Amino acid sequence: MQRVVRITSGFQQEASLNLSSPDLISHLFEKGWPNPEKINSDSREVALLLNEARNSFAKFLQVEHEEINFLGEVNLGFHLGLTGLLNPDSSLIYSEIDKQEVFAVADFFEKSGGKLQSISVNAQGLIEDFQSKTNDVICWQVANGETGILQRNLLNDSKIFADCTSSGVDHLPTFKYQSALFDSRSWQGPAGLGILIVKNDAIWRNPLPHNDYTKVPNSYSVPLVLASALALESYMAEQNKDFGYREIILKALNNSGLDFYTPSSDKFLPRNLSLVFPDLEADRLVLLLQDLGFAVDSGSACRSADMVPSHVLSAMGAKVTGNIRITFHQSTTAAQVNDLANGLISAVKTLRGI
């Protein structure tokens, strides 16, 4: 029989669904099954609920109602958001710390005859300066999901796709962009829902095969949209609280005298903390913390097929071993964070034989 470890505190990127009632999701699926495009009474009711959800997203994402498009597959949004802006005369500009989905779009564009420009980052994970033309398309990562590092406010006349999948509503882009992508999970909404923003004044075309005026496949789940809107409203009620959880962990580690460092910059998302213990194997540390009742992520956000464990740390010139990621959620308590700090110190000492 396989041993099951009881997790007392969850510090992984994934968080439990943020709804006011655990029974609400079942209610939404019960109410949200009709096709909102039909004219019967059930469909009209769903259409009204969907419109209310769209208005809620527009309010909190600070966009227009008609600029919102729902996706049943978040990663499809990278292709739609970027490729929809590109044309044969464009260069696609992206950074070395972008997500693998962006690299895939870039590879496809290059094989189709397109031009690419990859931008390096400095030791603080900040994207270096670059040159671009008005017709170029820039993929701008608002915040890095591995390190939590926030990028500068981009002032540029080129066409911009804002990757907001990690930053969510914690740090909305304040620069002008033509398309953007959000992930419902960033505000503790359900998985399986992406929100693609296409601005009204954007010169954008649907890059998928189509014979009508639809911008996206519209294969999303209506109940997930409704659940995500409710989760977003709950999240916004607590959004700006920063309890200094990063500082609790870092202070405890510094006081312990253990050798470690955190890839960070002056501006970061308070809910993200990346730690590197260069002489340790991250997987062993994650498993030992699990035995102690704490769930954290291994540092690499890359796919298992990649040769480099973390392309983000590699691009920053940092070591790519011994890296773990800790995510603080709205339900996280100071007591849990203090327990994690003690557990982390104990686990590192055990692995180092101290």
- The pLDDT of residue 127: 96
- The pLDDT of residue 1: 38
Q: What type of residue is 259?
A: D
- The pLDDT of residue 118: 97
- The pLDDT of residue 318: 85
Residues 6 or more apart whose CB falls under 8 angstroms from that of 330 comprise 18, 188, 235, 238, 241
Q: Residues 31, 46: contact at Cβ < 8 Å?
A: yes
Give the domain ranges of the chain: 9-16+240-352, 24-237
- The pLDDT of residue 305: 41
b/e code 113-134 from CB counts within 10 Å (16+ = b): ebeeeebebeeebbbeeeebee
Q: Residues 180, 197: contact at Cβ < 8 Å?
A: yes
- The pLDDT of residue 306: 42
Mind listing the pLDDT tens digit of every residue in the chain (354 residues)? 344 445 556 888 877 777 665 667 777 777 766 676 677 777 787 788 899 999 999 999 999 999 999 999 999 999 999 999 999 999 999 999 999 999 999 999 999 999 999 999 999 999 999 999 999 999 999 999 999 999 999 988 999 999 999 999 999 999 999 999 999 999 999 999 999 999 999 999 999 987 777 888 988 999 999 999 999 999 998 766 667 999 999 999 999 999 999 988 889 999 999 999 988 999 999 999 999 999 999 866 544 444 357 899 999 988 888 999 999 988 899 999 999 999 999 999 999 988
Residues 6 or more apart whose CB falls under 8 angstroms from that of 113 comprise 88
Token pair in block for residue 24: 């609400």
- The pLDDT of residue 285: 95
Does domain 24-237 fall under CATH 3.20.10.10? My reply is no
- The pLDDT of residue 136: 97
* 3-state SS record for 142-193: CECCCCCEECCCCCCCCEEEEECCCCCCCCCCCCCCCEEEEEHHHHCCCCCC
C-alpha 228/C-alpha 191 separation (Å) is 9
* CATH code given to domain 9-16+240-352: 3.90.1150.10
- Give how far Cα 327 sits from Cα of 22, 29, 90, 147, 336, Å: 23, 29, 37, 10, 12
Give the ranges where the chain is alpha helix by DSSP (H): 24-31, 41-61, 76-83, 100-111, 222-237, 245-256, 282-291, 311-315, 334-352
Residue 334: Cβ within 10 Å count: 11
